[in-house]
Amino acid sequence: MDKLNCMQAYCAVVKEGGFSAAARKLGISKVMVSRAVSSLESELGIRLLHRTTRQMSTTAEGQAYYERCFPLLEEFQLLDEAIKSDHAGAKGKLRLAAPAEAFSQQYLTPVWVKFAQTYPEIELDITMSDRYIDIVEEGYDAAIRIGKLQDSSLIAKKLADMELVLCASTEYLQQHPTIEHPQQLLDHQLVVDSNFRGGQSWPFTKEAEEISIRASGKVRVNSTLAVASFIQAGLGIGLCLSFLVEDKIKSGELVRILPEWELMKGGIYILYSHRKHLSNKVQVFSQFLAENCFK
């Protein structure tokens, strides 16, 4: 029996938890799955599985082999899919993880709609959540991330620049003391974005000086759009994504506070695993976002 097929059968047995489940997954008989695993054990000269009439488990060698073998089989599958999609055009399911629903609806959904119209052969499966999603472990093709990226093995493509800015409404500032230093924020009403990865600590940097303010206020909300709305209503000072409030700052509705102090600079990115970079659908989607988002 072909070794690649034997490896696929073995990995299916381990992943699905048994020979019967593996057979259903692969669309072959249970006998064929058993023969494939036995053939692989014979060639390797080791026992991969402990088998009894009631249960099955991997040996230590079998578990180690599975952990090295499964990613290789995924690579083969992705390579085949990439070659096929390059030949036949972009198609298939594309699973995407994206940020909070409000942000995605306002800024990303119109682009996704346009993409779906342009590439009808691609099936979009989009999850909008503030929860951090490990796209490799959870089987996503790509993710949209905002902020300063942490080191990782993922490939990142920047869609737009972004920085956090401290803002308040003109009305609020007219009714409260002038702010000349971050420490004075403790005497003001603050609107806190509970999704901010720094937590309640707002880090300010100016040349060699660094200071962290523990932000607390009567309003805490897990939406950057909601933060901007509370600030516009004169209910306090808060951190906003620059592209969300730049028009309001230009019009004078909002005022940027302490502009000489830097909070955080980063970007809006699409990320995907290096194993996905050959996929035509991921390449097409990534390029489409780069050409159409935040333009």
Residue 114, pLDDT score: 94
Shared-domain flag, residues 196 and 258: yes
Q: CA angle, 77 as apex, 75 and 81 as ends, to 5°?
A: 115
Residue 259 CA to residue 279 CA, distance in Å, equals 42
Shared-domain flag, residues 117 and 197: no
Domain boundary among 60, 88, 116: 88
- Residue 229: give its domain's CATH number: 3.40.190.290
Shared-domain flag, residues 168 and 252: yes
- Residue 53: give its domain's CATH number: 1.10.10.10
- Specify which residues 268 forms β-bridges with: 146, 160
Q: Please give the distance of CA 270 from its chain centroid, rounded to a whole number.
A: 8
Residue 41 CA to residue 49 CA, distance in Å, equals 9
Shared-domain flag, residues 78 and 143: no
Residue 85, pLDDT score: 55
3-state helix, strand, coil in the chain (%, to 5): 45, 25, 30
- Specify which residues 271 forms β-bridges with: 143, 156
Shared-domain flag, residues 276 and 157: yes
Residue 87, pLDDT score: 45
Residue 81, pLDDT score: 65
Closest to 94 measured CA to CA, from 118, 71, 116 = 116
Shared-domain flag, residues 81 and 143: no
Domain range for 66 is 3-88
Shared-domain flag, residues 236 and 271: no
Shared-domain flag, residues 202 and 179: yes
Shared-domain flag, residues 171 and 156: no
Shared-domain flag, residues 134 and 277: yes
Shared-domain flag, residues 120 and 246: no
Taking only the tens of pLDDT, the chain with its 295 residues reads 688 889 999 999 998 988 999 999 888 999 999 999 999 999 999 999 988 767 788 999 999 999 989 888 877 776 666 665 554 567 788 999 998 766 788 888 999 999 999 999 899 999 988 778 888 888 899 999 887 787 677 888 888 888 889 999 999 999 999 999 999 999 999 999 887 766 678 999 998 889 998 888 889 988 888 899 999 999 999 999 888 888 899 999 999 999 999 988 888 899 988 765 557 888 889 889 988 886 6
Residue by residue, DSSP assigns 173-211 as HHHS----SGGGGGGS-EEEETT-TTTTEEEEEETTEEE
Number of structural domains the chain divides into: 3
Asked whether 273 and 135 are in contact (CB, 8 A), the reply is yes
Shared-domain flag, residues 229 and 97: no
